[in-house]
Amino acid sequence: MRTNYIALSLAAVISTGMGVAQAQEANNELVLEEVLVTATKRETTEMSTSISIETISGDQIENRNMVNIDDISAFLPNVDIANGLTQATVTIRGIGSGQERSFEQSVAMFIDGVYMPRSRQYRAPFFDMERVEVLRGPQSVLFGLNATAGTVNITSASNRPGDEAFARFVAGYETEYGGYSGEVVAGGGGENVGFRIAARYRDTGDGFYHNTFTGQDENSTEEKLVRASLVWEASKNLSITAKLNFADAVETGDTGEAYGPTAAALAGDGKLDWVRNVDSGLTGLFTDKPAGFDHETMYGLVSFDYQMGDYTLTGVASYSSDEFEYVVGTAQLPLPTFANYLVEDFEQTSFEIRLASPTDRRVSFLAGIYYGDTELNTSLQTAVGGPLFFGAPVLFHNQYLSYASNQTLSPFASFTFNVSDTFRIIAGARYSDQDKDSTRDRLDCYQRLYDGDTNPVLATFPDAIIDIAGLTGLCGSKDRDGDFSSSNFMPELAVQWDYGENSMAYAKWGESVKAGGLTFSDIPSPIYSSYGDETATGFEIGSKSRLMDGRAELSIALFHTKFDDMQLNSFIPHPDTGIPVTIVRNAGSAINKGIEAEFNIAATSWLTLGASLGYLDSSFDDFDNGPCYAGEDEDGSLPGTCAKTGLDTPNSPRWSGSAYADIAIPVGSSLEIIGGINMGYSDDYFTEGSIDPAAVQGSYTRWDARIGIAQAGGKWSVAVIGKNLSNEVVNSFTQPLVGNIGYIGAPRTITLQGIYSF
């Protein structure tokens, strides 16, 4: 099923003016710009940081019209970020979190130093960025609990005191669907204050899905984003930063697309091709809003850096909220069969304080403590249309209110022992204590008779009738509550050797934990379901070098990570009804191992080339009681289960990679031709937790490109940007319900973009 090779071609083409690394003239020598990162909570260069890391600059994000964080993963080997039914799906090296609303993520996300635990917060304002750092592998000491697979570290742009005043306008028009966007950024600085404000409005126009049942185009998105920041140099030793961010996104239409033989028989062509045949009529039971979602997210922070002699004391206080509402017809059928209405309200308050010593001592350190307090309230209503009963359709309808709170206290410390000028040992640990409480109340569960417009209610039957019918699995259990506590010690050890003036090698070992908790899922059990901690033990060795007097860079990393007590959610048929229900549990273990490499070179003063390559072997090491897909013979260690040991984990292509070519060609003394081509490749992979061979994303090659003209000084530019030019259908997640439902990315788009600065 998998290929054993990948071909990464580099093309010297008329391409975008920004790549992973920029070519610069310094002292009449051609060099690659050194990329600064904060992956170690200090500002270092990417090439001196002993982590497998890839960085995307803010210029690259703007020039390639990357409007969502999903866009960056298309060109990062061993990284996948996409959207599922109830959550975003975030996977690094074949490990991520499933579609369970109580899960924290296996990939921790930080925005401006603030931890964002909800996967939906990946929809936070993604514009006017300074950089995005993607750290692969366990990252417990500096980034905390729930970073077993990796970390996404996002830094938004700021202005500091003394910066020149400026304003920048960005406008875009998308030709395929009539979408348009406008963005304005302004900022500058005085003697002691720097300020910046950025805002964007985006409307994607006609949706890229066509619903043959309604005859309408769906999945059009309207976004409003704004961010304000202030940097105040209060004194020679004290700097204070404040940021406030707000985003609102509304998307119309259902979600997902049915595919496979069942879909071909019941709902259309059975292909993933941005065409669906869906009756979302049952959603009218819940709300008068059309099918779709409304998502509002906000976060604000105040941080300070205080110099105490050679030491730096840093503090960060933050508040974030995330409100999400969706109403969808989940079955993806041309019948009013299944529907969900979910409202989530999440709030988080967090504080972190840390002390950093100077780095030029024999022993340096960074130590701190983190406290986080979160609350999550959800309301979930589900409706199921059934066979005819007394001459009218039967509807099973239930509603749950769930509440969850979580308090985390976590001290950490990292020490660097400079054994010599070229060799150092880095040792650290984090302790985390976490307490969770959760309640779940079933407000109602009953049968209704309804007319073709889903109203009025003609008859209602109590639980007793449902019990007699043997359909209690559709209603779940009633009034459940519980608590969960865990404490974990997570150590890390690394060694780093500078074996040349611009070359280093490292080896790193560490343990990380993903917190357990209490499920929100509709399990057919009177006992509130809990799941335990998931642990990861990882080892990585690597090398990073600047070659050819700074014209080229090469990074290589080999890794091996074992995951125990994996948290998995699965869809299994209910024994009475046959309708899929969700179960959450700790499974066995998985191992991922492989290699990652990245190479960039300033080929000429106007041409930069680069490529990234990932090889991944991620499989279940011990999983003999896994979920069974439809029609699979039960051969597991427990009744109703199937053996999955030795099979690949979902979202783990054997080979993945990317390549780019960027140029800026001078034309006369004042103009440049700018443009770019970017290629992303992925081998095939499973998209569903039961490892269903009918739910496989095939291998694909995706192309993006840009071509335009700009003033040499960067004052203005006009460009045409094409994304997914090969029109690849990429499915990152499959949900089995009536057949399989896939969640795929956008098709080809062509955008005319103009930028003007003064």
Q: Is the pLDDT of residue 573 over 60?
A: no
Q: Residue 544: pLDDT above 80? A: yes
Residue 98 is predicted with a pLDDT of 66
Res 174 pLDDT > 90: yes
Average pLDDT over residues 404-409: 93
If you average pLDDT over residues 81-110, what whole number do you get? Answer: 77
| Overall pTM surpassing 0.85 (yes/no) | yes
Domains and CATH numbers, the chain: 23-757 (2.40.170.20)
Backbone φ and ψ of 473, nearest 5°: -60, -25
Sign of the dihedral through C-alpha 350, 355, 358, 362: negative
Question: Where does the pLDDT of residue 236 fall: very low under 50, low under 70, confident under 90, or very high at 90 and above?
Answer: very high
Q: Work out the average pLDDT over 217-243.
A: 95
Structure tokens of 718? 């006009």
Average pLDDT over residues 284-296: 86
Give the pLDDT score at 521. Answer: 62
pLDDT digits (tens, 9 = 90+) for 419-442: 999 999 999 999 999 999 888 777
The region, left, alpha or beta by phi > 0 then psi within -120 to 50, assigned to residue 70 is alpha
Q: Please tell me the predicted confidence (pLDDT) of residue 473.
A: 47
Pairing of strands 209-211, 275-276: parallel
pLDDT of residue 86: 61
Q: What is the mean pLDDT of residues 358-374?
A: 95
pLDDT, residue 312, reads: 97
Tokens standing for 329? Answer: 């017809």
Alpha-carbon span 231 to 160, nearest angstrom: 6
Between 678 and 266, name the one with better pLDDT: 678
Residue 155 main-chain phi, psi, to 5 deg: -125, 120
pLDDT number for residue 415: 97
54-71 pLDDT tens trace: 999 988 888 888 888 888
Label residue 525 by pLDDT band (50, 70, 90).
Answer: very low
What's the CA gap between 259 and 147, in Å, rounded?
Answer: 33
Does 126 score more than 90 pLDDT?
A: no
Please say if the pLDDT value at position 467 is more than 50. Answer: no
Least confident of 189-203, 403-417, 510-524: 510-524
Contact 660, 679 (CB under 8 A): yes
What pLDDT does 146 receive? 85
Which SS3 state, helix, strand or coil, does residue 143 take? helix
Of 4-13, 71-80, 394-403, 406-415, the poorest mean pLDDT is in 4-13
The residue-averaged pLDDT of 475-488 equals 75
| % of the chain surpassing 70 pLDDT | 85
* Torsional sign, CA 77, 79, 83, 89: positive
Per-residue burial over 28-58, b = 16 or more CB atoms within 10 Å of its CB, e = otherwise: eebbbeebebbbbbeebebbbbbbbbbbbbb
For residue 350, the model assigns a pLDDT of 96
At 577, the pLDDT band (50, 70, 90 cuts) reads low
Region of 65 on the Ramachandran plot (φ > 0 left; ψ -120 to 50 alpha; else beta):
left
Tokens for 217? 């185009």
State whether the Cα torsion 451-454-455-458 is positive or negative: positive
Who wins on pLDDT, 221 or 3?
Answer: 221
What does the pLDDT read at residue 717?
A: 96
pLDDT tier at 155 (50, 70, 90 boundaries)?
very high
- What is the predicted pLDDT for the residue at 255? 82
pLDDT at 461 over 60: no
CA Rg value for the chain: 26
DSSP at 15: B
- The more confidently predicted of residues 127 and 414 is 414
Q: Select from 389, 520, 573, 391 the least CA-distant residue to 466.
A: 389
Q: Where residue 644 falls among pLDDT bands split at 50, 70, 90? A: very high
Q: What is the pLDDT of residue 19?
A: 37
5-9, 158-162, 499-503, 504-508: segment of lowest average pLDDT: 5-9
Mean pLDDT of 508-534: 74
Q: State the residue for tokens 């609303």.
A: 101
Which is it for the CA torsion 61, 62, 64, 68, positive or negative?
Answer: positive
In the predicted structure, residue 718 carries a pLDDT above the cut 60: yes
C-alpha distances in Å from residue 91, one per residue of 9, 94, 173, 183, 323 = 25, 6, 31, 30, 23
140-154, 165-179, 398-412, 571-585, range with the lowest pLDDT: 571-585
Pairing of strands 150-156, 107-111: parallel
Q: Which pLDDT belongs to residue 466?
A: 44
Q: Which two structure tokens, joined as six digits, stand for 666? A: 């001078």
Comparing 13-22, 84-93, 480-489, 515-524, which segment has the lowest mean pLDDT? 13-22
**562 confidence band (pLDDT: 50, 70, 90):** very high
Least confident of 75-84, 220-229, 361-370, 718-727: 75-84
pLDDT digits (tens, 9 = 90+) for 626-643: 888 888 898 988 777 889
Average pLDDT, the chain: 85
Closest CA to 493 of 560, 427, 540: 427
Provide the pLDDT for residue 11: 32
Pairing, β 731-737 against β 739-744? antiparallel
Can you tell me the mean pLDDT for 474-493?
79
Q: How far is Cα 152 from Cα 122, in angstroms, rounded to an integer?
A: 10
Phi, psi dihedral angles at 264 (to 5 degrees): -65, -35
pLDDT of residue 444: 64
Question: Quick one: pLDDT at residue 390?
Answer: 46
Question: Above 70 in pLDDT, residue 28?
Answer: no
For residues 507-515, give the mean pLDDT: 93
Q: Residue 492 has what pLDDT?
A: 96
Taking only the tens place, the pLDDT of each residue in 303-344 is 999 999 999 999 999 999 999 998 988 778 887 778 888 899
Give the per-residue pLDDT at 464: 44
Residue 387 has pLDDT above 70, yes or no: no
